[in-house]
Amino acid sequence: MNSTLLCDVVVVGAGFAGLMCADRLSRLGYTVTIVEKAPAALAGTSSRNEGWLHAGTYHALSVRDRREAAAVAKRCRFGWEEIQRRFSECVEAEKGKAVAILPEAKLAESLSRWEEARVGHVRLSASQFGHIAEHVRVGADEAAFAVDDLGINTPMLAASLIAELRNRGVRILLGARILGRSDDLLHVATADEAFDLAHRFIVCAAGFETERACADLEIPPVQVRLWRSHLVTAPKVAPVSVFGVAPQQAAMINHGAWSIIGFNEDATLVDRPTFDVDPVIADRLEEAVRWRFPKADLSAARRTACVKVDYAVHENSVRSLNVRMLPVLDNAVVVLPGKMTEAPYSANVVASHVFEMLGQGGVTARPIDTYELTNQGS
């Protein structure tokens, strides 16, 4: 007979979404167990991105719908502030700020969006830009701005967060397989043992493994789309991080002696999670790197791919960067957090829902917490 472990909430997935949800729930006093299929945390997208701590700069402009763009940017700003405050040792701050490069033709619209989303920015004069101009090409039809985006050491951030979770008694099961579910028992096996997890609530934060995790958990499926993008890692190509916001431009963030460079608008639908590199797209990315960073040494460059996930109401709708918290049962939700920087915000949404469903003993409810909504259509 399997032994039984008790907890209030099971969080499936030890990427940033899962870790941050566990953070919020454990701070509310719930007992939490994290179940991760891989032998280490950050096994998916969380470890294969550029490592940006976004300040909303890019997404305020890149998302087509202006209202959605402002919402995404503000969620990023929320995470940007919290991560710097709580995990300052993990922020790879450089001298000066990062530089964003905008097309002059869209400058008025871009500045209006930045103001609406409260994105920090200061236009750089030619002399101010001079200290990096040797390494960065700016076209005659472009303008450069100092912005607040930063680099983040993602493994260090995860280690700090995991240490906090363990200090609060959060159980983290790595290399664990979900074998099925019956009532309030989740059947789990690790390399060493099999046991049951008695729980009150499930939070599925499995990223691009969401569909598989829903099947393993025997909860209603959530249809997600998978998007592959590409990265190039090269010896540091410029003294500060630089990114263009127009399509088909390079976006670079520095991490010590290395630069990780992505490609704007590089998101191709794939039917399965694959980190295989498309050489045609990778070649185009390197061309964009060479144009923006004329001194870049790509002889030692490494190409990688990343898979991200979104949820769309309609199959042919444009890619969505919206945070999603999808209740699939009275005691189970699926969370799609968007970017790493948005994880604190999406975790708040999840924690609020779990608290509404489970409550917390020892705390007096407000009168409104006991009211039942009636005549909702009136």
Q: Is the pLDDT of residue 199 over 80?
A: yes
The confidence score (pLDDT) of residue 374 equals 61
Residue 355 and residue 340 in contact, taking contact as beta carbons nearer than 8 Å: no
The confidence score (pLDDT) of residue 1 equals 57
121-179: pLDDT as tens digits: 999 998 888 888 899 999 999 999 999 999 999 999 999 999 999 999 999 999 999 99
In which band, very low, low, confident or very high, does the pLDDT at 377 lie, cut at 50, 70 and 90?
A: very low
Q: Give the Cβ contact number of residue 350 at 10 Å.
A: 26
DSSP type of residue 106: G
* 292-298 mean pLDDT: 94
DSSP type of residue 103: E
The confidence score (pLDDT) of residue 155 equals 94
Instruction: State which amino acid sits at residue 81.
Output: E
Whole-number Å distance between alpha carbons of 208 and 48: 13
243 φ/ψ angles, rounded to the nearest 5 degrees: -145, 135
The confidence score (pLDDT) of residue 169 equals 97
| Domain residue extents for the chain | 3-45+155-223+321-359
Whole-number Å distance between alpha carbons of 61 and 113: 7
Rounded to 10 degrees, what is the CA torsion of 343, 93, 252, 106? Answer: 80
| Count of positions (residues) in the chain | 378
Q: Is the pLDDT of residue 215 over 50?
A: yes
194, β-bridge pairs: 189
The confidence score (pLDDT) of residue 95 equals 56
Q: Is the pLDDT of residue 231 over 80?
A: yes
Residue 48 and residue 274 in contact, taking contact as beta carbons nearer than 8 Å: no
Top CATH class of 3-45+155-223+321-359 equals alpha beta
42-72: pLDDT as tens digits: 988 887 888 999 999 999 998 888 999 999 9
Residue indicated by tokens 């409104």: 368
Average pLDDT over the chain reads 91
Q: Is the pLDDT of residue 307 over 80?
A: yes
Whole-number Å distance between alpha carbons of 305 and 136: 25
Degrees, nearest 5: CA angle 366-372-376: 125
Which two tokens mark 181? 């579910």
85-112: pLDDT as tens digits: 999 999 987 656 799 999 999 999 999 9
Sign, CA torsion 105/236/93/285: positive
336-355: pLDDT as tens digits: 877 889 999 999 999 999 99
